[in-house]
């Protein structure tokens, strides 16, 4: 049932992506990549900041809404940024550029997972070490508690530590989103006129 609940929580955000990806492509054709990328990265940063407020008591509806806001930004900015990069290449290099783009996307995703996973593990271990001292041998209440009570306290502490660790990660993502929004200012603005580009781009 936990797997089903997790999927249901993620489903609204996934539906937002389904709607936004085609819409982002149309916006790219009409107004270019700059403003969709900037607005999308702003939503991504905002959604990540909201998710950084998560606690063990955060209502499920709030988490679904925050994920939807974040995925609204992802869906709006991802396609314009990728297409803008490939469309800047000459026609002869379009296929190669698309392949390199896909490879770099997967490599960067793997690196990000590894880096954030390591940071979360290190931060979680530090938080656990700091806060578990409250229930240590020097604590009279802990000394008198039964094994069952100590296990319950450990589970509550573990959930709080895991939640705080992920919240710290979302803060980092929010900052990166703001930086990306500033960099998006350098993207092309306006529709690409016929004959001014390098032909259709295949992603």
Choose among 10, 29, 15: nearest CA to 83.
29
| Domain spanning 2-186: CATH 1.20.1250.20 | yes
How far apart, in whole angstroms, are the C-alpha atoms of residue 203 and residue 46? 28
Rounded Cα distance between 14 and 74, Å, is 11
Nearest to residue 41, comparing CAs of 183, 171, 191, 186? 183
Domain ranges of the chain: 2-186
* pLDDT at site 198: 47
- pLDDT tens for each residue of 68-94: 999 999 999 988 888 887 877 788 877
Find the largest Cα–Cα distance for the chain. Answer: 80
Predicted confidence at residue 195, as pLDDT, reads: 39
- Using alpha carbons, select from 2, 28, 123 the residue that is nearest to residue 81: 28
H helices of the chain, in order, are: 2-31, 34-51, 60-87, 94-132, 140-144, 147-183
Could you tell me if 191 and 32 are in contact, meaning their C-beta atoms sit under 8 angstroms apart? yes
Query: pLDDT tens digit string along 31-76?
Result: 988 999 999 999 999 999 999 998 888 898 999 999 999 999 999 9
């Amino acid at each position: 049932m936990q797997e089903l609940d997790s999927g249901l929580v993620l489903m609204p955000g996934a539906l937002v992506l389904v709607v936004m990806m085609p819409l982002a492509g149309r916006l790219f054709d009409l107004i270019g990549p700059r403003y969709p990328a900037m607005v999308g990265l702003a939503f991504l940063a905002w959604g990540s900041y909201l998710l950084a407020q998560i606690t063990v008591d955060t209502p499920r509806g709030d988490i679904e809404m925050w994920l939807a806001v974040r995925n609204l930004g992802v869906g709006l900015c991802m396609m314009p940024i990728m297409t803008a990069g490939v469309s800047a290449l000459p026609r002869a290099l379009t296929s190669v550029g698309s392949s390199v783009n896909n490879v770099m996307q997967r490599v960067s995703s793997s690196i990000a997972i590894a880096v954030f996973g390591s940071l979360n593990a290190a931060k979680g271990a530090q938080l656990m070490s700091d806060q578990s001292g409250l229930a240590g041998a020097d604590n009279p209440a802990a000394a008198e508690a039964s094994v069952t009570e100590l296990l319950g306290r450990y589970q509550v502490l573990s959930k709080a530590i895991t939640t705080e660790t992920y919240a710290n990660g979302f803060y980092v993502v929010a900052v990166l989103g703001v930086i990306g929004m500033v960099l998006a200012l350098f993207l092309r603005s306006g529709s690409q006129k016929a004959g001014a580009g390098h032909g259709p781009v295949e992603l």
